[in-house]
A and B are shown apart, each in its own frame.
Chain A
Amino acid sequence: MFKYILKKVGYLVVTLWIILTATFFMMYSMPGDATQSSMKVLPEAVAENLKAKWGLDKPVGEQYVIYLQNLAKGELGESYTTPGLTANTIIEERFPASLQLGLQAVVLGLVLGILLGILAALHRGRWIDFLTIFIAILGVSIPSFVFAALLQKYAAGGYFPIVGWAVSGSSIADQFKYTALPTLSAAIGGIATYSRFMRSSVLDVLNNDYILLAKSKGLSRFQIIRRHVMRNAITPIITIVAPQIAGVVTGSFVIERMFSIPGLGRYYVDSVNGRDYPMILATTVFFSFIFIFCMVVMDVLYAIVDPRVRKGIIEGKKER
């Protein structure tokens, strides 16, 4: 098992390096650079100075080597567009807000999604089922920013602020006030996906013989759901949760923009537009890391949870 984890981590490092290298060279192969991102042409001296300061005057290969050397030291470089701030600082300062929003959204999505999914499956064809399907269709088809705009229009302005974010260390009430609507906006997609998955998963499980057996044993309905249905139905959810977590944590930049949340998402978009190379690389690598890390954790969790997967790993080893 340890070796399995080690191997997965090895893959993570190699994948990250490939992503980094591909991003680096694609970025540099685009015509234009950070000194040309605004409409007005900079004085030649200023442009040259900036290029020298950023090392853009060196050959691309050399820049790549320098970048890797700095990366090995844990230095992601100073942002081009935000003088005085390094990519490290920006990620440290900004990621907590993205993480908080993302985790809250995932938890809310999971709780509501699973609950709705189970209820819908158990009451198939009844109003709760239709409601779940309705929510699922809405959640999948309405982009989160439209939902966010609707919330801003109809739910915000009174108790809930339209924009802003509670600074770290503020009261629970403040945290709730500022994060409720963005969290709901970011969670709507998750609620839809999880409830749909959970519904069909529960329906599958309900058709199994062991449920019939449990019923015939005289177990209560609640016991059956808790001990047999839930446990078996929830496994497929794990498969989709990992990439969803990564997606929500890294991909809420539209929500961040609309609610003016000081998260990392904005930098991801702005750095691309401003050709802010250190920030492009830092955010790409950082987001890739989170994504791949979630996948690795999922693989490992799966091996722990599902005996068949675990058996497969051990047998694979024996064959060799």
Chain B
Amino acid sequence: MKKHLTVVLAALLAATLTACGSSGSSSSSSSTASGSGTQTDSSQADAQSTGGKISIVMTTDPDTLDPGRADDTQKNQIVLETQETLVRLINGELTPAGAESYEHSEDGLTWTFKLRDNKYQDGTEVKAEDYVNSIRRLFDPEVNSHNAGIFYCIKGGEAFNTGTGTKEDVGAVALDDKTLQITLTEALPYFDQLLTFSNITPVPESKTQGSANASYGATAEELAQSGPFYVSEWTRGTKVVLKKNPNYWDADNIKLDEIDMPLAQDENTRQQLFDAGQIDLLSNVRSEYVTSLQSKIDSGDVQLSAAPQASMSYISFNNQDPDGVFTNAKIRKAFAIAFDRDAYVNNVAKKGKAAAGLIPYGMSVGTDEYRTLYAEPMTDLLAEDAKTLLNEGLEEIGRSGETLEITFLQSNSNSDTKVIAEYYQNQWQTKLGVKVNIETASDNSAFNNQVSKGLYQVCQTGWGADYNDPMTFFQCYTTGDGNNAAFYSNSTYDELINANKTESDMTKRAENFAEAEKILTVDDCGISPITFGYQNVVMSKNLKGVYINSAGGPAIELRDAYLEG
């Protein structure tokens, strides 16, 4: 899924610690109780709304607008403004949207959604069976949705996806035109968080019959659009234009008439567009650019908002290292702590914030932000002596006194990854007295291929949240998970995470997560988190009502946005 690559790459370009600090004090408001959203000042929204037109950029050219295949930040942004999810993140709060209300059975396996009277842009009614169709398409082998795995919790989904079941067996049924029922295989307490995904938005079956099933979303004309806006124009390679959907159930409260989205793949071009006042919002901007805008920010001509992004980068040790080095916890710990994370953030990555735990800021357990409940667990470990740990580890693997030689795998030969690889090489060689070779994979495919086969010793990679629950991170490091790049395995960890899939007591869940986080990052040090994502968003001074989502929903929610004055 490109989303994760995009998220991490985007994070690569994001703020430095300094910039985050200064911006935090200037205009951002802190996260809400649920911790996933940041909102620009929206006081007296109704009194001052003027409607109108705004422009934001597309950073990549969408290859399809099929909701079932939206799998990166850019596609999510467009799909989520033009389609109605059952629930939406409004100012960080899960709010019923396509569903007027919903409830789940006592055992947590059956979820029933009462739908609102909503219409597509062409005036046809949105029916429960349209949601059923989109859920079936998610697992349809003809569609090949990259996100299918996330929804295997829906009964019959995995079977249909793997060719052992049929679409009729998928646990989503329309009880009547306005009632949707979804059956799960496990009682996921965070299932409603998954419903902020663009993949579960209504698609009438009439639109996806025959060959149209595989090609749906290749043009704007064929789309059935149920969201606050609709794509009125899509010129591939140049721009997308969204217009207000007059048939949207809450159209009276949608203030913007039009959102222009010119494509600008180049960071420099995007800054020119913002400087020239041709776009109203620019997210994920580099700290240097924020600095260049500082006088305008201070004078109030430009608004700056800084918010956590639920992503993190980490050093992945191959816990099944064929060379038998990183199979040892003490050696892993030595490598994990033998450099200063703040220095890394300020001088090398120039983005994000130093991390001492797995779960970034902005992730919630129930209604509480996880990081406010439990502090980052690696603080004590980071204070230990790396060289001592290394010597003890070497003794344990019977290679005491030997000058260790290891290989760091970097993902490709661009300047960013090169600087990162050389930083680790330098730090580990000087602090630990080991010899570090750098191996370069030619591109992402080659890198992922090599990592997935375990043909590496140590590398750096990252992860971005799919939904607003720590499970999206913890799941990756369970034994045998496809995304477990470190080949980490610990039965206690697995038990805690498995228990938390269905644990409905949020206090207990948070406690389990905290224990698992400590096992993974401190006791075993199976992976070593380095940075948490953090992003700067700049906006024109009169754009209000914008929500910045950390995880789940569109990265920038414009549903309630308006121009002031």
Contact = CB atoms under 8 A, between A and B. Distances in A.
Whether A and B are associated in the same complex: the answer reads yes
B169 to A, nearest CB: 15
A164 B262 contact: yes
Interface in A44-63: 44-46, 49-50, 53
Contacts of B146: 38, 40, 42, 46
B236 interface: yes
Contacts of A157: 272, 275-276, 278
Given A38-B444, A46-B149, A46-B161, A262 B238 contact: yes
Nearest to B218: A84
A295 interface: no
Contacts of A162: 264, 269, 272-273, 276, 278
B461 interface: yes
Interface stretch (A27-35, A123-131, A186-194, A231-239): A27-35
Interface stretch (B60-68, B92-100, B505-513): B60-68
A163 B263 contact: yes
Most A-side CB within 10 Å, residue of B5, B215, B239, B448: B448
B500 to A, nearest CB: 21
Interface residues of A, number: 50
A97 B146 CA distance: 32
Given A162-B276, A164-B238, A262-B238, A84 B214 contact: yes
Contact of B144 (A31, A53, A256): A53
Contact of B461 (A39, A97, A266): A39
Given A31-B445, A45-B163, A163-B263, A84 B238 contact: no
Interface string B140-168: 01001110110010000010011100000
Interface in B161-188: 161-163
Most B-side CB within 10 Å, residue of A84, A156, A273: A84
B237 interface: yes
A85 B144 contact: no
B450 interface: yes
A30 B237 CA distance: 28
A262 B237 contact: yes
B454 to A, nearest CB: 13
Nearest to A267: B237
Interface in B1-36: 1-5, 8
A82 to B, nearest CB: 4
Interface in B252-304: 262-266, 268-269, 272-273, 275-276, 278
Contacts of B447: 32
Given A45-B161, A149-B268, A162-B278, A37 B445 contact: yes
Interface in A1-54: 30-34, 36-46, 49-50, 53
B530 to A, nearest CB: 15
B154 to A, nearest CB: 13
A258 B442 CA distance: 25
Given A41-B483, A46-B145, A46-B148, A30 B218 contact: no
A34 B445 contact: yes
Contacts of B448: 32, 36-39, 41
A198 to B, nearest CB: 33
A36 B461 contact: no
Contacts of A257: 265-266
B452 interface: yes
Contacts of B141: 45, 49
A40 B452 contact: no
B443 interface: yes
A260 B64 contact: no
Interface in B445-465: 445-450, 452, 461-463
Most B-side CB within 10 Å, residue of A38, A42, A263, A272: A38
B442 A30 contact: yes
A83 B218 contact: yes
B235 interface: yes
B209 to A, nearest CB: 15
Contacts of B162: 44-45
B268 A40 contact: no
B145 A32 contact: no
Q: What is the interface residue range for chain B against chain A?
A: 35 or more
Interface in A71-88: 79, 81-85
B148 A45 contact: yes
A260 B238 CA distance: 5
A250 interface: no
B245 to A, nearest CB: 24
A260 B265 contact: yes
B51 interface: no
B322 interface: no
B215 A39 contact: no
B544 interface: no
A167 interface: yes
Interface string A80-113: 0111110000000110010000000000000000
B214 A39 contact: no
A4 to B, nearest CB: 40
B3 A40 contact: yes
A245 interface: no
A205 to B, nearest CB: 43
A152 B444 contact: no
A96 B449 CA distance: 37
Interface string A218-262: 000000000000000000000000000000000000001111111
A170 to B, nearest CB: 12
B262 A260 contact: yes
A83 B483 contact: no
Contacts of A81: 63
Contact of A39 (B8, B239, B273, B441): B8
A317 interface: no
A275 interface: yes
A147 interface: no
A165 B148 contact: no
A37 B444 contact: yes
Contact of A83 (B1, B66, B449): B66
Contacts of B445: 30-34, 36-37, 275
B217 A84 contact: yes
Nearest to A90: B236
A102 to B, nearest CB: 16
Contacts of A85: 218
A217 interface: no
A153 B271 CA distance: 10
B453 to A, nearest CB: 9
B452 A36 contact: yes
A83 B64 contact: yes
Interface string B212-242: 0011111000000000000000011111000
B449 A39 contact: no
A34 B273 CA distance: 33
B481 to A, nearest CB: 8
Contacts of B268: 149, 152, 258
Contacts of B235: 165, 167, 262
B8 A258 contact: no
Contacts of A152: 268-269, 272
B280 to A, nearest CB: 14
B324 interface: no
Given A43-B148, A266-B237, 16 more contacts: A36-B452, A37-B444, A38-B71, A39-B448, A43-B482, A46-B148, A81-B63, A149-B268, A156-B276, A165-B235, A257-B265, A260-B262, A260-B263, A260-B269, A272-B443, A273-B444
> Which 5 A-B residue pairs are closest in the complex by CB-CB distance?
A262-B237, A84-B215, A32-B445, A84-B218, A32-B449
23 contacts: A31-B449, A32-B449, A36-B444, A36-B449, A36-B452, A38-B1, A41-B483, A44-B482, A45-B141, A45-B161, A82-B64, A82-B218, A83-B215, A149-B272, A153-B272, A156-B272, A157-B272, A163-B238, A163-B262, A163-B263, A163-B269, A164-B238, A165-B237
